[in-house]
């Protein structure tokens, strides 16, 4: 197989991967925008402990979104750095996009909007979960401190989850909105 045919096959495979990532991003967005409110509603009908899992579901959506967005940009970076550079014809689509940062503005806004909405979902679901624990504790006539264990355990794990998600976001922000090389590889 000659180099040109191999590059063409690589390019087509990467474009298919980018399309697949866009599809997965769309479904993550739909699941988040429709699924999280539906899950919160269903959790109110379920046992108290189910509510404690809702914030973790939102965190998983955030991480899935960051992963897919980063994967898509990584494929674009490979196209720009390897396929377009090796073709020797100068900047092509990905190189052209990166040479004009204003064309990536909508990508940054899309990612930022998604993250703002889902971090709001996260903090709202954490607030509801903590509130439910405190209401359960206030109505607990047994005198045990079981709900306080749930309160502190949930508070610590929710805080760790938020810090971890924010650290992931800060570490990988550039990789999720640009195909330009960065220190994260």
Q: How far apart are CA 130 and CA 133, in angstroms?
A: 5
At 181 the pLDDT is 64
Which tokens hold the place of 81? Answer: 């750095």
What's the predicted TM-score (pTM) here? 0.81
125-145 pLDDT tens trace: 999 999 999 988 888 877 777
pLDDT at position 91 is 58
5-22 pLDDT tens trace? 777 888 888 889 989 999
């Amino acid at each position: 197989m000659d180099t040109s045919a191999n590059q063409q096959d690589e390019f087509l495979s990467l474009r298919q991967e980018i399309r697949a990532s866009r599809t997965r991003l769309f479904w993550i967005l739909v699941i988040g925008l429709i699924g999280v409110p539906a899950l919160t509603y269903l959790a109110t009908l379920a046992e108290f402990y189910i509510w404690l899992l809702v914030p973790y579901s939102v965190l998983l959506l955030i991480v899935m979104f960051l992963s897919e967005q980063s994967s898509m940009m990584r494929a674009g970076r490979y196209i720009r750095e390897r396929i377009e550079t090796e073709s020797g014809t100068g900047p092509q689509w990905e190189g052209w996009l990166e040479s004009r940062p204003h064309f990536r503005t909508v990508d940054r806004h899309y990612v930022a909007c998604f993250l703002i909405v889902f971090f709001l979902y996260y903090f709202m679901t954490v607030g509801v979960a903590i509130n439910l624990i405190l209401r359960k504790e206030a109505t607990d006539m047994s005198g045990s401190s079981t709900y306080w264990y749930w309160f502190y355990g949930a508070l610590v794990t929710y805080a760790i989850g938020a810090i971890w998600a924010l650290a992931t976001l800060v570490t990988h922000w550039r990789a999720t909105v640009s195909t330009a090389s960065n220190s994260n590889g």
